[in-house]
Amino acid sequence: MTKILVYKNDPWINRAIALSVTRKKKPIEEIIKECEMAGVEECKKYVQRIVRAPADNPPGKGFGHRIGIEFGDTLLIINPSRFEALRIWREANALNGIRISGLERSLRIQKPPFECIDRESKYLHDLALPVYEEFVKKGIAEEDARFLLPEGVKTTIILDASANRVRDLAKLANSLGDFPLKEEDELKSSLLERVIEEIGFVPNERSLSEWPFEMSFEWWKKKVKYGKGNKQISSPLFSCMLDLDLDGSLSMYAQAVRLRQGLVMIEPVTSIARRRKFEVPPSFGEGERKEYYRIAKEACDIQEAKLEELDATYVYSLLLGQKARGKFYVNAAHAPYIVMQRACGAAQWEIRSKLGIPLYEKLKEEENVGPRCMVIGECWEPQTSRCPLAREPWRYRERKQVVEKLRVSSQEFDVP
């Protein structure tokens, strides 16, 4: 069952709770208690320290995580599966007409073993966890090791459920329920309860696009014109939409769908399962690849059996490293900001190489488009970041050279 908590307090306390959940390895209840005891003023200082960046006035030492200051007096705290989290974030963005502020707790912050939504995903989790932990001990980044984990692993999402966001909560609720999953029905019901509590009725509105569950890839390909990108860039940038063909891991899509100014159209879920293709991180050697394949084979067997039984819970046995095709749309005027973040060397290698850098290439003739370090002339990331330029004199390189240094190639495999 999906746990859902409606929490009301002063906006500064709520903002501190939301940011703490994404940064501290503590139970949610403990974080809430800590923030309540700290009080409004201390929470305000904590939030400002995180969200204020070096370029702000006055300058700060934080990382510019602006979402932290968008929460109001009511939070909605839920613990969906990773798959349902992907579903939520895909719906909640500006191009879909749903403007909701929210944060999700990374697997880096959660302590293993991870909670799972059903028996089969728990089986895959238990199979993968020792391998996952061994990979991390070897120095493989957690972002790569988690490719072995199933989409049934649970996460935590905090949404702004204040009165001025209720219309968007209604749109989100009305956009859910198309997937035949009990978890989604429970979430939709809880969202609608919050809407009715606040305004007494449910507006008949929903997102402007959809993620199909059971259609064929060929149908979807024709619908979104996959493989037929927009080649023409016009000026001013506000007059132009950009689109990219994507083909990457579900782990990458979990990041892409949280780019609120961009819309991700993902191929039908059944098509992902039947394709049986997996992204291989460049940090995996032959030994890691064999272990990954072994777990992927088990996952595909479970998916196939459930597909034959018309059991939609096969989605929880998809691995985070399982590949899907998608289409990314963004107004060209918003693209430079996305490039600055996602082409940055501290960004995860896959989204950097498959979304951040390809967006840059569409706009490279424009001034001030590129990784953050090249645009603002300084790096905000800690020395411990895995940026390929961390120990190089990037200030003295041309923008093209920097981008090429940040590009990473990867491999894939199929499970017959």
Report phi then psi at 400, rounded to 5: -60, -40
Residue 83 has pLDDT above 90, yes or no: yes
Domain boundaries, the chain: 4-116+152-199, 334-416
CA distance 50 to 68: 8
Q: What is the pLDDT of residues 323-378, one digit of tens each?
A: 999 999 998 889 988 998 898 888 899 999 999 999 999 988 887 888 888 887 77
Residue 384, token pair as written in the block: 């411990």
CA distance 180 to 317: 15
Residue 56 has pLDDT above 90, yes or no: no
What letter represents residue 104's amino acid?
A: E
CA distance 324 to 330: 19
Whole-number percent of the chain with pLDDT over 70: 94
What letter represents residue 363's amino acid?
A: L
On the CB side of 313, how many CA atoms lie within 13 Å of its CA? Answer: 11
Number of CB atoms found within 10 A of residue 231's CB: 6
CA distance 166 to 76: 11
CA distance 243 to 387: 26
Q: What is the pLDDT of residues 227-263, one digit of tens each?
A: 887 655 656 676 688 999 999 999 999 999 999 889 9
- Show Cβ contacts of residue 318 under 8 Å, excluding neighbours closer than 6 positions: 83, 150, 151, 250, 272, 273, 299, 303
Give me the pLDDT at residue 231, please: 59
Confidence grade of residue 405 (pLDDT, cut at 50, 70, 90): confident
- Contact between 253 and 355 (Cβ < 8 Å): no
User: What DSSP character marks residue 111?
Assistant: P
Give me the pLDDT at residue 197, please: 92
Helix, strand, coil distribution of the chain in percent, nearest 5: 50, 15, 40
CA distance 329 to 243: 4
Give me the pLDDT at residue 396, please: 63
The DSSP line for 7-55 is EE--HHHHHHHHHHHTT--S-HHHHHHHHHHHHHHHHHHHHHHHH--TT
Q: What is the pLDDT of residues 281-303, one digit of tens each?
A: 999 999 999 999 999 999 999 99
Residue 387 has pLDDT above 70, yes or no: yes
Q: 3-state class of 385 per DSSP?
A: coil
